[in-house]
Amino acid sequence: MTEENESVSNPLDLLANAISDVGYWRWWTEQLPDLFQIEFGGVQLYFPPSEPGQTPSSIIAIGFEDVNSVCFMIKEDIKDFEWVKLLQQDKMDPITCTYDQFFFNNKSESKSLIALASQINVRYGGTLDMEDFCEQPYQLVFWCADYGLAIASRSVKVFSASGEVSLENVSDLNGNWWKYWNEYWEKKDTPQALPKDYACEVTIPVKEWRKY
C-alpha cells in the first residue's frame, strides 16, 4: 500500500480504512447472543509502545454487543469452514484484509459483498435476511481474500491493549499514526531508525515506491 488515504469524516469509515489498508484478521471469540468479538492487527491507529525500544501496538478488537446475526462466508476456492475453528484456536496464520471489501453500515456494499459468497455458514441469527441485517444499528461485512464475515448488532465497542477506544478518537489516532509513519520513513536506514514495524513497512511512501 502507499500513502495516506483521502480524508474520511465518518469514524466507522475511517476505522474501516485504518484496518483494511494493510491489516489482517487474527482471531475471534464469542459469548452469543451478548458478544461477538474480532481482533485485527496491522491497524493504522497509533497506540504508544508499552516499553522503550518496542513498536507501537497495531492490534485492536471490535466487540459487537447484543448480536443480531453472525455469518462466516467463503468463496468457491475454499472447500469448507474448518478455517473458522482454526482461526479461533490460533492454529491458522492471520488472513490479510481485502482493502476494497471492508465496510461498516453500507447497505449496497453489504449486499454486494455477501453476494460474492459461494457458501454462508450462519453462526447466529437464523436465515440471513438482508433487510433485517441492514436495519441493525451496526453492520460489518468484509473479506480477507476468500474468507469473509458478515455481522450485525445493536452496539459496538473498540478496544486496544490499554482499554476501550472511543469512536470519536479514531480520527486523532489515525492522524497520529500517519505522523509516526512519516517519522518512521524519515529515520529509516539512519542511526536513529525506529524498530521495524510491519504496518509501516508495507505502507510504502510514493517516493520509495518509485524506486521499484
Q: Is 105 helix (H, G, I), strand (E, B) or coil?
A: coil
pTM of the model: 0.92
Rounded Cα distance between 36 and 65, Å, is 7
Q: Could you tell me whether strands 147-160 and 163-165 are parallel, antiparallel, or unpaired per DSSP bridges?
A: antiparallel
Locate the domains of the chain by residue range. Answer: 11-165, 171-209
Averages of pLDDT over runs of 10 residues in the chain (212 residues) are 58 97 98 98 96 92 98 96 98 97 97 97 92 96 98 98 96 97 95 95 72 36
Place of cell 469448507: 80
Rounded Cα distance between 23 and 160, Å, is 15
pLDDT for 4: 54
What does DSSP assign to residue 92?
Answer: S
Angle among Cα 61, 63, 202 to the nearest 5 degrees reads 25
